[in-house]
Structure 1
Amino acid sequence: MVSLSLLSSIVCGSSVRYDPKELNALFRYYANRTLSNHRRAGTLSQVSLPSNVSGMEVSVVRLRSSNLWGRGIDSKYVKIPPSVRTLPYVKRLAIVYDNLGNWSSKYYHVPGHSLVSPVIGFEVYNYTDLMVGNSTLNVTGGSISIRFPYLKTKENNLTRLKCVRFRNNGSVEFKNVTERDVCVTESTGHFCAVIPYSSPPPPLPLSPSMPEKNMSIWKWWVIEFALGAVGLVVSVSVGVTVLRWWRKRKIKDTEKESDSSVALDTLWVREDHKMPCASMIRTQPALEHDYAP
């Protein structure tokens, strides 16, 4: 039996935690109570839920495994074909159907996708005690059909429509939609129709007086101006450096030439001009031969 703490955590006002596992336990608890008051097999019975979760639809039916194998069963949203047996085998079974309605997006979500239908689920249990655990189905005669009510999508989105199965471990499994509102499966669980998120709209202009195109041109102009200024500064710096180097080199050459030359005396001419004058003869004249004709 579901503990009182589990029930209070789901239905008590602001303490709702939106846990799918606890929600399924709540459905089993009230479905078990419903079956105890309805002994007739093969009849679908509505399950009364607390008012705090109004908007969800839950129903339960019990039947023999032989009837499921021979005739299958068709409910409002789920159609199970013949030639289906439970694993492990149980003589009498109970099937709990649920439609989460407007609560769907609170308990289930698919990253990158929007839910466009309510979440529809069904689980199979041993009729003797629904709280023990669910059973799986072995489908051999055909696929199980899930019909989604209130499909909220436009006609041009039908090609993007996908069916999703929510596994008990929290992962999702994508399946194809065979018709406009039908999904096929071979397993129990919870199912929903989804479409990918639409692409984001283009960004708006920065302001009415400055369109985005003009803003881009202005940015390129600023960048070019900055690059030109940097280039000018680099060119001037290189030119100044080369000029200083050339002057230093010229001074060194002049000093070297001055050190290697002979200083000359000066001679004043007319008392107001002076000019260099050699005071001695560096090379003495000499005859090549002592004999001269």
Structure 2
Amino acid sequence: MGLLGSLAMLLSVLCILCLPGLRAESHGASIDLARARSLDVLLQDYAYRAFNRPRTGIAYDGKVPSNLTGITISAMRLRRGSLRRRGVNAYKEFDIPTGVVVEPYVERLVLVYQNLGNWSAVYYPLPGYSYLAPVVGLLSYDASNLSATNLPELGLTATGPPISISFSGVRSVPGGSTARCVMFDLQGMTIFSNVSFGNVCSSIEQGHFGIVIESTAPSPAPVLPPPPSPTPAPSSSKSGQKNDNKKWWKIVGSSFGSLIVLSLLLMLVLWVQKYMQRKDLEEMENISEFEEALQICRIGATFAPMARSTRTPPVLESEIVP
């Protein structure tokens, strides 16, 4: 039973890994996680600076340093209980459903939105892939002190429907390629999933998201073939000999197959003949059992059949003893 249980567990894991949208690949080596996390710290500081007498549930766009032009940020303060009961509809590209759990416990939190624009491939490079849309991020922080910096992220997990990310301005997919959703979690893991209709990706947790396709490597420069061999004749004769050999084997094969078919037909004819002879013999034996042959006797100059004597000879009435 231990072996069967191990096999069943292995099959279950393989089935889960083969399901679309659940295949994860780690590209931590290609992403400078420390650099990406330092950018999150900087953008959290500048996003909090956008609050000026903030109102709950209102998005406030922030400004980034001049050396990061092209990146856009926004911040929204929410109550933890309200986020879980109501969710957030259309916060930039993000739709947050009801049932989202925030850990550890805080009374209020801030959702910081990031759009990395043309910096997407700089902070989140993916060798072998090209971005069809900029990387966008959603991170949650404690809102008890809106002037705090270097805050750790809170845990944000969807326990019901997943968080959906609707990308706009997605470049068209080249023919023969397939667009994929990509997610970068806070530990540097890269997770690929399928793109839903309308360029929508889904996730059960916070992080950074994008749409990519596999990039085709440039074709290598053509290599000039070596000069032709001065004796090409043997190769042609060899090829001709190979063709002759193939034809000969085809003829032999067809002849052998015809011989087998004829042998089977002959065996069938012999079997039918023997079967008919056996049936005739059985009929003659049946006739001999049920019919009695008459004896031939001579009466004068004539030969005529004569029945055998009866088994019970007649008895005169006078011979019957009373």
TM-score category of the 2 structures, normalised to the smaller one: 0.5 to 0.7
What SS class does the counterpart of residue 23 from structure 1 fall into? helix
Unmatched runs of 5 consecutive residues or more in structure 2 = 1-33, 236-322
Task: Pick the aligned partner of 1:30 from 41, 46, 50.
Answer: 46
What SS class does the counterpart of residue 118 from structure 1 fall into? strand
Task: Pick the aligned partner of 2:205 from 187, 208, 225.
Answer: 187
Q: Any residues of structure 2 matched to 1:148-163 within 5 Å, and which? A: 148-154=167-173, 156=175, 160-163=178-181
Deviation at 1:44, TM superposition (A): 0.4
Aligned to 1:49: 64
Give CA deviations for 1:116-163 in whole Å, capped at 9, x if unaligned.
210010001111146331111231220101122321233635x61111
The 1:135/1:68 distance shift into structure 2, 3 A limit, reads: same
Give CA deviations for 1:17-50 in whole Å, capped at 9, x if unaligned.
x921111111111122222x13211100001112
Deviation at 1:180, TM superposition (A): 4.0
Larger RCO, structure (CA 8 Å, separation 6 or more): 2
The 1:156/1:93 distance shift into structure 2, 3 A limit, reads: same
Q: Do residues 93 (structure 1) and 109 (structure 2) align? A: yes
CA contact (8 A) 1:69 1:84 kept: yes
Q: Report percent identity of matched pairs.
A: 35
Aligned to 2:196: 178
The 1:203/1:76 distance shift into structure 2, 3 A limit, reads: same
The 1:149/1:217 distance shift into structure 2, 3 A limit, reads: farther
C-alpha separation between the residues in 1 aligned to 2:231 and 2:39? 59
Deviation at 1:201, TM superposition (A): 3.0
The 1:89/1:219 distance shift into structure 2, 3 A limit, reads: farther
Q: Do residues 58 (structure 1) and 73 (structure 2) align? A: yes
Aligned to 1:146: 165
What SS class does the counterpart of residue 154 from structure 2 fall into? strand
Aligned to 1:109: 125
Q: Given residue 112 of structure 2, which amino acid in structure 1 is its aligned partner?
A: V
C-alpha separation between the residues in 1 aligned to 2:185 and 2:231? 53
C-alpha separation between the residues in 2 aligned to 1:117 and 1:173? 16
The 1:216/1:188 distance shift into structure 2, 3 A limit, reads: farther
The 1:105/1:219 distance shift into structure 2, 3 A limit, reads: farther
Aligned to 2:185: 167
Aligned to 1:79: 95
Q: Any residues of structure 2 matched to 1:98-137 within 5 Å, and which? A: 98-129=114-145, 131-137=150-156
CA RMSD of aligned residues (A): 2.5
Q: TM-score, normalised by structure 1?
A: 0.61
Q: Given residue 147 of structure 1, which amino acid in structure 2 is its aligned partner?
A: S
CA contact (8 A) 1:118 1:149 kept: no
C-alpha separation between the residues in 2 aligned to 1:84 and 1:186? 9
C-alpha separation between the residues in 2 aligned to 1:66 and 1:72? 9
